[in-house]
Amino acid sequence: MQIRVLDCHGGELLDLKTTCVQVGERLLIDAGALVSNLTIDQQVEIDDIVVSHSHFDHIKDLAMMADVVAGRRRRPVTIHGSPRTIEAIRKFFFNDRLWPDFTRIPSRKNPTFALKVFRPGHAFEVAGLSVLPVPVAHPVESMGFIVKGRSGAFAMSGDTGPTTRFWKELNRTENLRFAMVELSFPDEQIEVAKISGHMTPRRLGAELRKLERRDIPVFLYHFKPAFARALRAQLHRVGRAEIYPLSPGDTFTF
Ligand SMILES: [Zn+2]
Ligand SMILES: [Zn+2]
């Protein structure tokens, strides 16, 4: 499996972009920094996009990608999301007001996007891989993911505050290679983190005690751009040895 981090922030500022992770050539997880990192040909190759939740930083480039790939593919790009995420995308995004309804453009028969609901807690197959969506804790329905292939698995927390099931699933995942876990605000912003369902370094430190796996590195992502420097200075507060900030361009192969 080959994983490439296109970008991994919780907002945008100058050269920092929102989250988008490419798995192989044809699958993306979240649609943040998509059009700023993939050429036309690379975008046309994408068959499936799995989105963690409906917040704008995770879906925004679907709008821009639609313009690029419309009419260039033989079949729709499938967008996979939980029931409320797909409902929100349909109702508030591709609604012919905020953006054209690309589930009917260029034609109803062969549109740009097909929206597909997955069942939280139930694994589904995509791009030859198994993806287990695990509900996490956020103001809207939000998923972490465990992606399994023949050569191993990796996990991605999605946007979340303190949670339980995600860690339990990680603890029992065989051949788990690494986990990407969100960290959004510095400790001084704990009240903002609480109401918005995100981690701070100390909060994450307490969370990671639920992760019994000491054998895997944890890569931190979704830094809010305005606090990116402050967060790097507070990483030692997480209190775990194998933690690293995730960076755009990072690749993992196993
Ligand atoms: Zn986010
Ligand atoms: Zn969010």
pLDDT tens profile 36-55:
999 999 999 999 999 999 99
Q: Which ligand is nearest to the CA of 19?
A: 1
Q: What is the 159 CA–ligand 2 centroid distance (Å)?
A: 5
Q: What is the 123 CA–ligand 2 centroid distance (Å)?
A: 22
Give the confidence band of 190 by pLDDT, cuts at 50, 70, 90: very high
CA distances from 41 to 71, 178, 230 (A): 13, 30, 37
Q: What is the 75 CA–ligand 1 centroid distance (Å)?
A: 29
* Helix, strand, coil content of the chain in percent (nearest 5): 30, 30, 45
Give the pTM. 0.98
The sign one gets for the Cα dihedral 222, 39, 114, 252 is negative
Question: Does domain 2-253 match CATH 3.60.15.10?
Answer: yes
Q: What is the 60 CA–ligand 1 centroid distance (Å)?
A: 11
Per-residue model confidence (pLDDT) at position 114: 98
Q: What is the 209 CA–ligand 2 centroid distance (Å)?
A: 23
Q: Which ligand is nearest to the CA of 32?
A: 1
Q: What is the 148 CA–ligand 1 centroid distance (Å)?
A: 23
Q: Which ligand is nearest to the CA of 160?
A: 2
Mean pLDDT, rounded, for 200-219: 96
Q: What is the 53 CA–ligand 2 centroid distance (Å)?
A: 7
Give the confidence band of 199 by pLDDT, cuts at 50, 70, 90: very high
User: The sheet that has 2-7: what strands, in order across it?
Assistant: 113-117, 77-81, 48-50, 27-29, 20-23, 2-7, 251-253
Mean pLDDT, rounded, for 236-250: 96
Query: Residues 85, 50: contact at Cβ < 8 Å?
Result: no
Q: What is the 55 CA–ligand 1 centroid distance (Å)?
A: 6
pLDDT at residue 248 tops 90: yes
Element (H, E) at 83: helix 83-88
Q: What is the 199 CA–ligand 2 centroid distance (Å)?
A: 11
pLDDT at residue 125 tops 90: yes
pLDDT tens digits, 142-182: 999 999 999 999 999 999 999 999 999 999 999 999 999 99
- Name the nearest CA neighbour of 111 among 128, 87, 91, 94: 94
pLDDT tens digits, 51-110: 999 999 999 999 999 999 999 999 999 999 999 999 999 999 999 999 999 999 999 999
pLDDT at residue 9 tops 90: yes
Per-residue model confidence (pLDDT) at position 215: 85
Q: Where are the domains of the chain?
A: 2-253
Mean pLDDT, rounded, for 187-200: 98
Q: What is the 108 CA–ligand 2 centroid distance (Å)?
A: 31
**β-strand partners of 113:** 77
Backbone angles phi and psi of 219, in degrees to 5:
-105, 130
pLDDT tens digits, 217-230: 999 999 999 999 99
Q: Which residue has the tokens 């943040």?
A: 32
DSSP string, 200-249: -HHHHHHHGGG----SS-EEEE-B-GGGHHHHHHTGGGG--SSEEE--TT
**β-strand partners of 29:** 21, 50
Q: What is the 74 CA–ligand 1 centroid distance (Å)?
A: 31
Q: Which ligand is nearest to the CA of 224?
A: 1
Q: What is the 150 CA–ligand 2 centroid distance (Å)?
A: 30
**What token pair was written down for 5?**
């981090």
Rounded CA separation 195/180 (Å): 22
Query: Residues 18, 28: contact at Cβ < 8 Å?
Result: no
Rounded CA separation 241/112 (Å): 45
Rounded CA separation 166/133 (Å): 9
Q: What is the 161 CA–ligand 2 centroid distance (Å)?
A: 10
Q: Which ligand is nearest to the CA of 139?
A: 2
Q: What is the 75 CA–ligand 2 centroid distance (Å)?
A: 29
C-alpha torsion angle, residues 29, 33, 39, 45 (rounded to 10): 10
Distant-in-sequence, close-in-space partners of 106: CB < 8 Å, separation ≥ 6 = 70, 71, 112
Query: Residues 161, 198: contact at Cβ < 8 Å?
Result: yes
Q: What is the 179 CA–ligand 2 centroid distance (Å)?
A: 18
